[in-house]
Amino acid sequence: MASVIVNFELCGRDVEVLVQPMATLQSVLRNQLGHTATKEGCRQGGCGSCTVLVDGEPMLSCLLPVEDVAGRRVTTLEGITPIDGLDPIQEAFLESNGFQCGYCTPGMVMVTRALLDHDPQPGREAIVEAISGNLCRCTGYQPIIDAIEKAADRLSGSGEQTGER
Amino acid sequence: MPEELNVVGRSVVRSDGVGHVTGRTRFAGDLVFPGMLHLKMVRSPLHHARIRGVDLGEAERVPGFVRALTWRDVPHNVYTILSLIGVEPEEEFVLAQDRVRYKGEPIVAVVAESEAAALEAVAKVRLDLEELPAVFDVEEALRPDAPVVTDWGNNTFMFEGHPSRRVRFGDVEAGFARSDHIVEAVYNSSPIEQAPTETTGCVAVPEANGRYTVYTNTQALYFSLDNTAIILQVPGKRLHFVGGTVGGGFGGKVDVIVEPIATLAAMKTGRPVRYVFSRSEEMQVSSTRSAWRIYMKDGVTRDGHILARKVTSYADSGAYSRQTPYALTKHAANAAGPYAIPNVSIDAYCVYTNRTPASAMRGFGVTMASFALEVQMDRIAERVGVDPWTIRFINAYHNGDRKPHRKIAEDATLIETMQAAAAFVGHELTDEQKAMTSAPRASLEGVR
């Protein structure tokens, strides 16, 4: 099948890629655009490590044909990481040890960003629901939930804007 | 004046934490090198089969195909991971020769310009296999008429001339004869996959100085380097292994599986080679915690003292032994548990079957011993008519006690741990239990 050109917005910049039809957003991000913070734990929609935001909504990039994001806004972990220092969500994960091996962390941070954009002060149940599609084999989840609570407290307490960069 | 300490007593931020929360940590599978090739494996679709032929003709015509590797390309094709600590014999094939012994066993490695091309070429390799009877149960595998997995005529791993790892301490039959209760049970467990979120993988890169740099997510960097040097018959100084970043392991990345063949492919092509498991390979092919069957028989007095314990354990090693002999040694040392039992007999067998090879996983060998013996302790408590705490206080070992494998206990903490646990859950212990310590017994005669 002939390759096709797809245009979309990636972390605030316009990108144009030549892809095989049905290439996944995950493979294009990692292999063509160098956005390797987006992980590939299963490539079958089972682990959540590849979660990115499409128009602010968390999506599994491994199940998403890249043609489906044409003209849309894609944000990866690279897009919310400041050049210097850390985003408050990242700070909270770091302080709460909301990770061990770190492989699920990019997906967890992206899901947290989407959650707090919609619901700045989620309860623990809403947090658990939000990360229910993201597998972590190390932590037992409690430090991750603690990190998200801490991030929510800080972001809502300071009145800081939480929109995408 | 006390010295000012920088780390002790403080909470410190992990050195790799910023990398993890920003996604800047480089995992092996994230790495890309100019000219990098992709390796995918042709695997056995059958649990047990004779290999009559392999036809690469169609695969070689796939656009992007670079080359295939078979066992003939591997300088030292038969290895065993634990040969580094003196375990024999070498029995695992890097690439299968005349026979496959488990479903998913690697037969041909295909290297191609892209992952898609490698997968297509793998799909076009034609295997001519003659299916053989397979065995999946440890006790069936030990019957004289069982299908034989190994090359030496039975399915038993030999421990220094014995078919089991043995512990003999006191006289168990005499102990049973003096007992008021005999408690017998069998405990089974299934294989368990470690399921790390990052799959097993590495990238092997040829360097201009004749060395090979291997970026790997192994949990056992030097074990992998040394085994790769043996398999490829090169001096270790030609290999530079870079690791330490592991996206979850839990024992599942202790075996030496991807590095030797990726490095060989880099040698044969002169190009960087990436070999990363798919999720289905991680689940089907990478080794598991072994399945266990544990028979336990205890002789107990009417006041709850265990006088004798006899254990017969079978670990299902799968098609190759990998780390399972080591698991059985640990198992045999721990199957009596943290209890002072004067008469103990343990036989722990490492059994070959046609299952996926088993290996390391978090406390392997000991975990299932603990499961079996602690459930057994509850059963003993029930039989004797005391609560589960009491049966453990009665039998807890003390410092200075001789364990069945002849070590003197010098780190006993069972009593103190149970006291702390009781306080934690609000269980009221007796005054006698509260006053106990793991301190050496006044007289060794006290050990019944």
Are B23 and A105 an interchain contact pair (Cβ–Cβ within 8 Å)? yes
Q: How far apart are the C-alpha atoms of B87 and B107, rounded to whole Å?
A: 25
| 3 state DSSP class of B444 | helix
Instruction: Report the residue of chain B nearest A31, measured CA to CA.
Output: B32
Q: Over range B370-391, report the average pLDDT.
A: 98
Looking at the structure, do residues A146 and A107 belong to the same domain, yes or no?
A: yes
Q: Over range B3-25, report the average pLDDT.
A: 91
Sequence-ordered list of residues with C-beta below 8 angstroms from that of A94, at least 6 positions apart, any chain: A86, B13, B14, B17, B18, B21
Looking at the structure, do residues A56 and A40 belong to the same domain, yes or no?
A: yes
Write out pLDDT tens, residues B66-83. 999 999 999 999 999 999
Angstroms from A135 CA to nearest CA on chain B: 8
Phi/psi of residue A73, nearest 5 degrees: -100, 115
A164 within domain boundaries: no
Percent of chain B with pLDDT strictly greater than 70: 98
- One pLDDT digit (tens) per residue for chain A, 165 residues: 799 999 999 999 999 999 999 999 999 999 999 999 999 999 999 999 999 999 999 999 999 999 999 999 999 999 999 999 999 999 999 999 999 999 999 999 999 999 999 999 999 999 999 999 999 999 999 999 999 999 999 999 854 444 443
Write out pLDDT tens, residues B177-234. 999 999 999 999 999 999 999 999 999 999 999 999 999 999 999 999 999 999 999 9
Q: What is the pTM of this model?
A: 0.94
Question: What pairs with residue A89 in β-bridges?
Answer: none
Residue numbers in A near B24 (CB within 8 A):
37, 81
Q: Give the burial string for B145-158 (b: 16+ CB within 10 Å, else e).
A: ebbbbbeeebbbbe
Q: Over range B316-324, report the average pLDDT.
A: 97
Q: How far apart are the C-alpha atoms of A12 and B288, rounded to whole Å?
A: 44
Say if strands B181-189 and B78-79 run parallel, antiparallel, or are unpaired.
unpaired
Helices B388-395 and B414-425, packing angle to 10 deg? 160
Instruction: Report the residue of chain B nearest A45, measured CA to CA.
Output: B279
pLDDT of residue B94 exceeding 70, the answer is yes
Question: What pairs with residue B127 in β-bridges?
Answer: B54
Environment class of residue B212 by beta-carbon count within 10 Å: exposed (0-12), middle (13-18) or buried (19+)?
buried
Looking at the structure, do residues A74 and A20 belong to the same domain, yes or no?
A: yes
Joined tokens for residue B239: 């290999």
Write out pLDDT tens, residues B137-169. 999 999 999 999 999 999 999 999 999 999 999
Q: How far apart are the C-alpha atoms of B332 and B329, rounded to whole Å?
A: 5
Looking at the structure, do residues A96 and A145 belong to the same domain, yes or no?
A: yes
According to the 3-state scheme, what is the secondary structure of B366-377? HHHHHHHHHHHH
- Assess contact for A114 and A126: CB atoms under 8 A: no
Q: What is the pLDDT of residue B444?
A: 57
- Ordered by start, the domain boundaries in chain B are 165-192+287-446
Angstroms from A75 CA to nearest CA on chain B: 13
Residue numbers in B near A103 (CB within 8 A):
27, 196-198, 247-248
Write out pLDDT tens, residues B390-427. 999 999 999 999 999 999 999 999 999 999 999 999 99
Joined tokens for residue A28: 């294009």
Q: What is the pLDDT of residue B2?
A: 65
Number of domains in chain A: 2
Looking at the structure, do residues A22 and A46 belong to the same domain, yes or no?
A: yes
> Which CATH number characterizes residue A134's domain?
1.10.150.120
Q: Of A64, A80, A96, which closes a domain?
A: A80
CATH number corresponding to B165-192+287-446? 3.30.365.10
Higher-pLDDT residue of A35, B9? A35
- From first CA to last CA, the distance across chain A in angstroms is 36
Looking at the structure, do residues A72 and A18 belong to the same domain, yes or no?
A: yes
> What would the DSSP string read from start to end of chain A?
---EEEEEEETTEEEEEEE-TT-BHHHIIIIIS--TTS--S-SSSSS-TTEEEETTEEEEGGGSBGGGGTTSEEE-HHHHS-SSS--HHHHHHHHTT--SS-SSHHHHHHHHHHHHHH-SS--HHHHHHHTTT---SSS-SHHHHHHHHHHHHHHHHHT------
- Assess contact for A53 and A74: CB atoms under 8 A: yes
Return the closest-CA partner of residue B392 out of B373, B405, B408, B409: B373
Looking at the structure, do residues A137 and A96 belong to the same domain, yes or no?
A: yes
Q: What is the pLDDT of residue A161?
A: 47
Q: Which ipTM value was assigned to this complex? A: 0.94
Q: What is the pLDDT of residue B446?
A: 46
Write out pLDDT tens, residues B230-289. 999 999 999 999 999 999 999 999 999 999 999 999 999 999 999 999 999 999 999 999
- From first CA to last CA, the distance across chain B in angstroms is 50
Q: What is the pLDDT of residue B24?
A: 97
Q: What is the pLDDT of residue B1?
A: 56
Q: How far apart are the C-alpha atoms of B197 and B246, rounded to whole Å?
A: 10
Using the 8-state DSSP alphabet, how is residue B184 labeled? E
Return the closest-CA partner of residue B405 out of B167, B165, B164, B161: B167
Residue positions counted in chain A:
165
Sequence-ordered list of residues with C-beta below 8 angstroms from that of A149, at least 6 positions apart, any chain: A124, A127
Q: Of A80, A100, A129, which closes a domain?
A: A80
Looking at the structure, do residues A76 and A93 belong to the same domain, yes or no?
A: no
Sequence-ordered list of residues with C-beta below 8 angstroms from that of A84, at least 6 positions apart, any chain: none
Angstroms from B217 CA to nearest CA on chain A: 11
Of the pLDDT bands very low, low, confident and very high (cuts 50, 70, 90), residue B9 is: confident
Phi/psi of residue B428, nearest 5 degrees: -85, 120
Domain that holds residue A67: 4-80
Q: Does A157 touch chain B (CB under 8 A)?
A: no
Environment class of residue B199 by beta-carbon count within 10 Å: exposed (0-12), middle (13-18) or buried (19+)?
buried
